[in-house]
């Protein structure tokens, strides 16, 4: 009786997971892109909720406040997952050097970051000049600006608080980009199942170590040590990607897992933070989204996803500018609560409009020039190396 049962269990497992079937390639316009836009939209709502006439965390549900850690976790895991699947083979195979990888990634974030920071500085100076200084000047201290401009605020360097505060995660990602080739080398030396186990155990160990030394979980790491919060999550995403590249997952099962994990995440967050359970569900969502083949790529979803970075880097600037003016206007005109809610809804909409305008009008043109320069740089380096190769041949 045991042998048929065992054979049936193996056959069932084979129909769900297989190392012989080819996993679907990562493509634009599918669920991974949709998730990027959804998470960026929720980040905007999270940052804007406190500026409502009645903060949503107080008037609706606390999830609007504590959701910040959840969305940041998603953002960091997804970054590791996507970069591993897009660049892993090139970096591991030597077609892209460690220096070129870091240069490419840092140039992706620095221009937009510096433009947003310059806008904030201009807003503070102009507002102060016309008699509308920041209502919370402690968040715009000038001695905090250099660390944030250099994106080193998550490495224990003094400064970086306030201003465009969410940029701490971009700072932490720069450290993750530096670590990427070394983590990649370790993961590619083991099989997909072993890699999955290692990154899961690694995150749990980092969390326990943080509790033992600092008496709080790793996701509560202060912003000036944000690299130590981000790196375990980024590595977890890389491990999920290595698993996804080596193990075929039944698409039907992946679709159901994506749906049920999303529902489960909403349910557990409704009751409490449930950090580790939520982290497991986020991992399932990302893994399942990457396992669902993109048979009909959506151009709309693709375009929405490419704007997600602009949404992330610009929403705090829009929030500060919009509600600074909105509050002054509402107080001057003695507007009632309904009008103030109208201004809040318009502010949320303005964040989306500004992000799309900034992406297509500013960030994308800059990135096109950077990509052209990087391509030219790559060709130049190849031409320099070519005679050496031919001589050795």
**What is the per-residue pLDDT across 308-320, written as a single tens digit (0 to 9) for each?**
999 999 999 999 9
Judge if pTM exceeds 0.85: yes
pLDDT above 70 covers what percent of the chain? Answer: 91
d(CA 48, CA 320): 10
- Residue 332's Cβ-side half-sphere holds a number of Cα atoms within 13 Å equal to 7
Residue 62 pLDDT: 83
DSSP state of 67: H
pLDDT grade for 285, boundaries at 50, 70 and 90:
very high
Count CB atoms within 10 A of the CB of residue 176.
Answer: 24
pLDDT over 80 (residue 14): no
pLDDT, position 386: 39
Answer for the pair 207, 153: CB distance below 8 angstroms, yes or no.
no
Mean pLDDT of 366-385: 75
Instruction: Determine contact, residues 184/84, Cβ cutoff 8 Å.
Output: yes
pLDDT, residue 388, reads 32
The pLDDT of residue 175:
96
Reference 225, options 273, 149, 168; nearest CA is 168
* Mean per-residue pLDDT of the chain: 87
CA dihedral 114, 154, 106, 141 (to 10 degrees): 10
Q: What's the burial of 153, exposed, middle or buried (CB within 10 Å: 0-12/13-18/19+)?
A: buried
248: nearest Cα among 23, 16, 25: 23
Beta bridge partners of 249: 17
Residues 210-232, mean pLDDT to the nearest whole number: 91
């Amino acid at each position: 009786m045991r042998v048929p049962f065992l054979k049936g269990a193996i056959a069932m497992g084979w129909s769900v997971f297989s190392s012989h079937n080819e996993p679907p390639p990562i493509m634009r316009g599918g669920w991974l892109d949709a998730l990027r836009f959804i998470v960026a939209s929720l980040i905007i709502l999270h940052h804007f909720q406190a500026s409502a006439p009645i903060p949503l965390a107080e008037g609706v549900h606390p999830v609007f406040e504590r959701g910040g850690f959840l969305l940041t976790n998603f953002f960091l895991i997804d970054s590791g997952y996507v970069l591993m699947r897009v660049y892993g083979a090139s970096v591991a195979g030597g077609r892209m050097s460690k220096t070129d990888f870091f240069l490419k990634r840092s140039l992706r974030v620095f221009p937009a970051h510096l433009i947003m920071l310059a806008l904030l500085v201009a807003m503070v100076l102009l507002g102060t000049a016309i008699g509308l200084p920041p209502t919370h000047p402690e968040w715009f201290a000038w001695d905090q600006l250099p660390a944030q401009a250099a994106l080193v605020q998550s490495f224990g360097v003094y400064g970086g608080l306030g201003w465009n505060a969410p940029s701490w995660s971009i700072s932490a990602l720069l450290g993750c980009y530096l670590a990427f080739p070394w983590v990649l080398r370790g993961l590619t030396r083991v099989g997909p199942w072993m890699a999955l186990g290692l990154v899961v155990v690694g995150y749990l160990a980092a969390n326990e170590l943080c509790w033992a030394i600092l008496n709080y979980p790793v996701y509560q790491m202060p912003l000036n040590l944000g690299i130590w919060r981000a790196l375990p999550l980024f590595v977890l995403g890389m491990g999920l990607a290595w698993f996804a590249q080596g193990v075929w997952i039944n698409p039907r099962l992946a679709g159901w897992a994506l749906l049920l994990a999303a529902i489960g995440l909403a349910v557990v967050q409704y009751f409490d933070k449930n950090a580790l359970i939520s982290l497991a569900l986020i991992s399932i969502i990302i893994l399942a989204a990457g396992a669902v083949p993109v048979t009909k790529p959506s151009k709309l979803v693709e375009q929405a996803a490419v704007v997600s970075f602009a949404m992330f880097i610009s929403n705090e600037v829009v929030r500060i500018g919009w509600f600074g003016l909105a509050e002054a206007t509402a107080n001057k005109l003695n507007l009632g609560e309904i009008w103030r809610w109208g201004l809040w809804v318009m502010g949320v909409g303005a964040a989306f409009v500004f992000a799309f305008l900034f992406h297509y009008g500013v960030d994308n043109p800059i990135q096109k020039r950077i990509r052209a320069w990087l391509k030219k740089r790559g060709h130049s380096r190849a031409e320099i190396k070519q005679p050496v190769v031919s001589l050795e041949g």
